[in-house]
Amino acid sequence: MIYEIPKVPKEIVDAVNNQTLAVFIGAGVSRLIGCMGWDQLATNLVNRCFTTKKKDGSGLINYKEKETLIQEKDHKKTITICYYLLKKNGFENIFYKKLKKSLKADKELIRSQNIYDELYLLRGLFITTNIDEHFDSKFDPTRIVWREKDFDPSKIDRTKLYHIHGSIKDKDSLIFTVPEYIKRYNNQTFKDFLEKIFREYTVLFVGYGMAEFELLDFLITKFESNNKEKELKHFILLPFYKGEENILEFEQYYYNSMGIRVLPYAKDNKGYAQLYDVIKNWNREINQVSTYL
């Protein structure tokens, strides 16, 4: 059965008690407070490339190219293409303006149901693939890290917030094009950093869909390639409609192969915003049974 609020697994409660819970925060979390998703940003960038003119008066792309790019399902690929088109023609500043605009939150959503307030109460080691600053206010500014040198596996610290794809406050740190992803995820120190987390922590993925998950898929598969029967040590919260148990089973085939257990929640009434209620209820449940002080 798919319930609106799934029961919090004992393993996550134990991880809170043992200070070994690591929470990976994806784009779906920031979308709940009004930020754009990769899909919307990609569309906006394509449209901007179409309307932006070169010195000779022609557009960066024609209508046919615009339609082809908008239909591309790999949004990171589209964003990469738009970045190079704008940069090549001297409009790199337009790209960053669009990027910053996509990260703006809705003040009313922040006031009424800021999911970051609830996530912080899980008291985990927090790692985010988001480049926005909406979680930063929960941490001492000196404990927010985003540069490659900050991902030292011997210095993992639960008081820090790790922006593993960079931060918008430092545009040189941003990882958003395909070559940058490949470079970052092939960096040995960075790989050791993630491997240690996957090995020593119980990991909860929040706000991730298939599109955001392919890189972590690559990493976990690589780290655990010698393990044919993987222990379901990690967890991912995923939304479904009630009655989609067959779809849930398909997702379980995929994630279980990486040692990740799917925790489904029903989105029938509130859509993706149901995630806020899940985390809020989990906090209440954990605090009732947890020995954490």
DSSP states of 44-89: HHHHHHHH-B-TTS-BSS-HHHHHHHHH-S-HHHHHHHHHHHHHHT
45 is in which domain, residue-wise? Answer: 38-102
183 with 95, same domain: the answer is no
140 with 285, same domain: the answer is yes
96 with 183, same domain: the answer is no
In the 8-state DSSP scheme, what is residue 244?
A: -
CA separation for the pair 230, 260 (Å, rounded) = 9
pLDDT at 230: 61
pLDDT at 232: 76
Q: Say if residue 288 is exposed, middle or buried (CB neighbours under 10 Å; 0-12, 13-18, 19+).
A: exposed
User: Which pair of tokens denotes residue 21?
Assistant: 């819970």
Task: With a cut of 50, list the residues of the chain below it in pLDDT.
Answer: 292-293
The residue behind tokens 């806020």 is 276
User: H helices then E strands: how many in the chain?
Assistant: 13, 7
Does some domain include residue 269? yes
pLDDT at 215: 56
pLDDT at 150: 95
118 with 155, same domain: the answer is yes
19 with 123, same domain: the answer is yes
> Which of these three, 77, 102, 127, is where a domain ends?
102
User: Which pair of tokens denotes residue 113?
Assistant: 């149901």
pLDDT above 90 covers a percentage of the chain that reads: 77
- pTM metric for this prediction: 0.91
CA separation for the pair 184, 164 (Å, rounded) = 9
> Which of these three, 59, 80, 102, is where a domain ends?
102
209 with 192, same domain: the answer is yes
Mean pLDDT rounded to a whole number for the chain: 91
pLDDT at 217: 58
169 with 46, same domain: the answer is no
pLDDT at 291: 54
pLDDT at 74: 87
**How many other C-beta atoms are found inside a 10 Å radius of the C-beta of residue 260?**
24
pLDDT at 223: 55
> Which of these three, 102, 123, 148, is where a domain ends?
102
pLDDT at 211: 63
User: Which pair of tokens denotes residue 175?
Assistant: 């990882």
pLDDT at 22: 97
209 with 252, same domain: the answer is yes
